[in-house]
């Protein structure tokens, strides 16, 4: 059932344009979509510049896609020319145009991709808003509404697009004022790719000058790996040819590349600023918040690769969905190959974003090759270790609060690793935090616990329940409390499962105090002592009772 958009044909005019029969139809955005659009425009108004970052980012993704699909279907890159993003402005017409020669879209894809907002994310978005989530702008990025940010600065958007590999007359024009409806019309377009014309709102026409656009691009989109070209009109004064005549002014159009267009991960670390990393993270993750931490490394050895890995500050909405697309972007010699899901990073680190670029795979690498590539296996091991080290450094460093933020968002996910990744079990275990009988907050590590163990204590004692209160009031704890042993209180549903895979840590055995064979050294002694304390009188009574009642 199409819940997010109801298509209503308002007019259906058949215009005969000679060659192409142009069928124009108008469709309604769904009510919720309109509300969302208004909300977004309103809430992002103060940060209106980001519209350009979003559109350039989409153009860059479209160029990636065309390059990748062109590896296996050369038709798609025929006549493409240099992959690039082109910006022009027209102060008189009050328009700003962003053009790319990327993959483009056909009619169905236009309806699918920008005819609805955020597709299935819309419902979740509204639910979160209803749950009184304040930071709308932060939410927006998580729901894929990037394209619509165009309406922050434009009161009409005209998008013309043609899918690479499809005929010239299969192009389509999408147009909307962002209020209630959009129209679709067939057209003809000489080159494949997408052109977006923004008809600027009056209050934003001051952006239509070289310096404003240039500064937005260098601020937000410098890292984009394709050239962002801008057409710049310059007026020049030409001296008079003959004496006595006035000099003339002529205007010339120059085309200039605005961004540096080098892949950020290929640059020397010392040449990359924190802001560069943060903007790049936002580009690949579609997150509006800055990342919590990142790590940029060039690895040389048996396998050579560069990795740039980010840990977000917040978990994404779909983190607990079964088949969500996760993982790092795989590049081969700077050419985007694919989102490599579990080939580059294990599932329990699915929150990590970033890129891996290697020269040790062929450019025309297929999915089949990736399925069983020892190169990828080594990279995956390296990347996994790198992430665990980065997290461990955070956990043991000075920024304890930052680690607490991380743990609150992702602690449960990394626990899956105890069961999934036997080779890194110990390193993952180091990252875990729990409450204990010594500390109510979730901040006790196994290392802390061992540091506080009583002399001669051999085991790490723990109990699993479904909440902290039950854990603290468990009758099993009494004897440990009285003997001064600390017990770790595990209250997460996954903990019981996880402890099935964890039998020891740094040589100390884990013992679940609620399960059977607990061998608390002096508890055993206590029990032994109890028997001789029975007086002769007691014994006589017990014997009598036994006689009467039998066994």
Phi, psi torsion values for 314, nearest 5 degrees: -125, 145
Q: How far is the CB of 100 from ligand ADP (least distance, A)?
A: 5
Q: If binding is defined by CB under 6 A, does position 375 make contact with ligand ADP? A: no
Instruction: List the alpha helices (DSSP H) in 73-120.
Output: 107-114
Q: How far is the CB of 191 from ligand ADP (least distance, A)?
A: 13
Q: Which of 5, 37, 105, 154 binds ligand ADP (CB under 6 A)?
A: 105
Closer residue to ligand ADP (CB): 105 or 311:
105
The residues, any chain, with a CB within 8 Å of residue 549's CB and separated by 6 or more, are none
Q: If binding is defined by CB under 6 A, does position 370 make contact with ligand ADP? A: no
- For tokens 């080779």, name the residue: 423
Taking CB under 6 A as the rule, which mask of x and - marks residues 465-494 in contact with ligand ADP? Answer: ------------------------------
Q: Which stretch binds ligand ADP (CB under 6 A): 101-109, 209-217, 300-308, 325-333?
A: 101-109
DSSP state of 239: P
Q: How far is the CB of 102 from ligand ADP (least distance, A)?
A: 5
Q: Which of 113, 262, 317, 378 binds ligand ADP (CB under 6 A)?
A: 113
Closer residue to ligand ADP (CB): 59 or 431:
59
Question: By rule CB under 6 A, what count of residues binds ligand ADP?
Answer: 17
Subset of 16-45 contacting ligand ADP (CB under 6 A): none
Q: If binding is defined by CB under 6 A, does position 63 make contact with ligand ADP? A: no
**Three-state helix/strand/coil letters over 494-543:** HHHHHHCCCCEECCEEEEECCCCCCCCHHHHHHHHHHHHHCCHHHHHHHH
Which among 161, 202, 148, 121 is positioned nearest to 37, based on CA atoms?
Answer: 148
Q: If binding is defined by CB under 6 A, does position 286 make contact with ligand ADP? A: yes
- Measured distance CA(290)–CA(310) in Å, rounded: 10
Q: How far is the CB of 146 from ligand ADP (least distance, A)?
A: 3
- Measured distance CA(60)–CA(122) in Å, rounded: 24
Residue with the shortest CB distance to ligand ADP:
146
Quick count: other Cβ atoms within 10 Å of Cβ 452?
A: 13
- Taking each helix axis from N to C end, the angle separating 50-72 and 274-285, rounded to the nearest 10 degrees, works out to 60
The partner residues of 154 in beta bridges, in order of sequence, read: 200
Segment (H or E) for 160: strand 154-162
Q: If binding is defined by CB under 6 A, does position 381 make contact with ligand ADP? A: no
Q: How far is the CB of 444 from ligand ADP (least distance, A)?
A: 40
Segment (H or E) for 418: helix 400-420
Closer residue to ligand ADP (CB): 62 or 264:
62
Closer residue to ligand ADP (CB): 245 or 325:
325
- Measured distance CA(435)–CA(447) in Å, rounded: 13
Closer residue to ligand ADP (CB): 103 or 337:
103
Q: If binding is defined by CB under 6 A, does position 145 make contact with ligand ADP? A: yes
- Measured distance CA(7)–CA(23) in Å, rounded: 15
Q: If binding is defined by CB under 6 A, does position 154 make contact with ligand ADP? A: no
Binding site for ligand ADP (CB under 6 A): 54, 58-59, 62, 100, 102-105, 113-114, 144-147, 194, 286
């Amino acid at each position: 059932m199409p819940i997010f958009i109801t298509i209503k044909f308002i007019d259906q005019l058949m215009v005969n344009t000679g060659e192409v029969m142009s069928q124009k139809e108008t469709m309604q955005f769904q009510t919720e979509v309109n509300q969302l659009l208004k909300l977004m425009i309103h809430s992002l108004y103060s940060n209106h510049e980001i519209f350009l970052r979003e559109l350039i980012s989409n153009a860059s993704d479209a160029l990636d896609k065309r390059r990748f699909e062109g590896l296996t279907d050369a038709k798609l890159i025929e006549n493409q020319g240099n992959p690039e993003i082109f910006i022009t402005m027209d102060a008189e017409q009050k328009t700003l145009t962003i053009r790319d020669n990327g993959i483009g879209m056909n009619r169905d894809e236009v309806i699918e991709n920008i005819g609805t907002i955020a597709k299935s994310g819309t419902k979740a978005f509204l639910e979160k808003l209803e749950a009184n989530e304040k930071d709308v702008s932060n939410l927006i990025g998580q729901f894929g509404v990037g394209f619509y940010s165009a309406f922050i600065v434009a009161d009409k958007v005209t998008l013309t697009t043609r899918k690479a590999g499809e005929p010239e007359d299969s192009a389509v024009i999408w147009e909307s004022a962002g209020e209630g409806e959009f129209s679709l019309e067939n057209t003809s377009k000489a080159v494949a790719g997408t052109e977006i014309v923004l008809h600027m709102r009056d209050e934003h026409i001051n952006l239509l000058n070289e310096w404003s656009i240039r500064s937005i691009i260098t601020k937000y989109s410098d890292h984009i790996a394709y050239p962002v070209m801008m057409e710049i009109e310059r007026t020049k004064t030409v001296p008079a040819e003959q004496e006595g005549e006035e000099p003339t002014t002529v205007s010339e159009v120059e085309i200039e590349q605005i961004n540096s267009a080098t892949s950020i991960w290929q640059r020397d670390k010392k040449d990359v600023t924190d802001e560069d990393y943060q903007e790049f993270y936002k580009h690949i993750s579609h997150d509006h918040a800055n990342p919590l931490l990142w790590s940029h490394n060039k690895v040389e050895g048996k396998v050579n690769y560069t990795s740039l890995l980010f840990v977000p500050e917040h978990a994404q909405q779909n983190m607990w969905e079964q088949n969500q697309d996760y993982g790092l972007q795989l590049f081969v010699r700077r050419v985007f190959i694919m989102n490599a899901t579990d080939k580059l990073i294990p599932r329990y680190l699915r929150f990590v974003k970033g890129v891996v670029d290697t020269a040790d795979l062929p450019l025309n690498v297929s999915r089949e090759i990736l399925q069983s590539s020892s190169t990828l296996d080594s990279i995956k091991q390296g990347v996994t270790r790198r992430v665990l080290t980065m997290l461990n450094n955070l956990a043991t460093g000075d920024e304890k609060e930052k680690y607490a933020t991380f743990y609150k968002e992702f602690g449960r996910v990394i626990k899956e690793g105890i069961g999934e990744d036997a080779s890194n079990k110990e390193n993952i275990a180091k990252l875990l935090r729990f409450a204990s009988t010594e500390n109510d907050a979730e901040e006790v590590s196994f290392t802390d616990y061992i540091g506080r163990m009583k002399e001669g204590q051999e085991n790490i004692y723990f109990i699993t329940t479904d909440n902290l209160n039950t854990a603290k009031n468990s009758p099993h704890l009494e004897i440990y409390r009285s003997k001064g042993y600390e017990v770790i209180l595990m209250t997460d549903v996954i903990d019981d499962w996880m402890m099935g895979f964890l039998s020891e840590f740094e040589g100390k055995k884990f013992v679940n105090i609620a399960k059977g064979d607990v061998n608390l050294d002096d508890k055993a002694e206590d029990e032994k002592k109890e028997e001789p304390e029975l007086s002769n009188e007691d014994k006589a009574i017990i014997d009598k009772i036994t006689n009467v009642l039998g066994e």
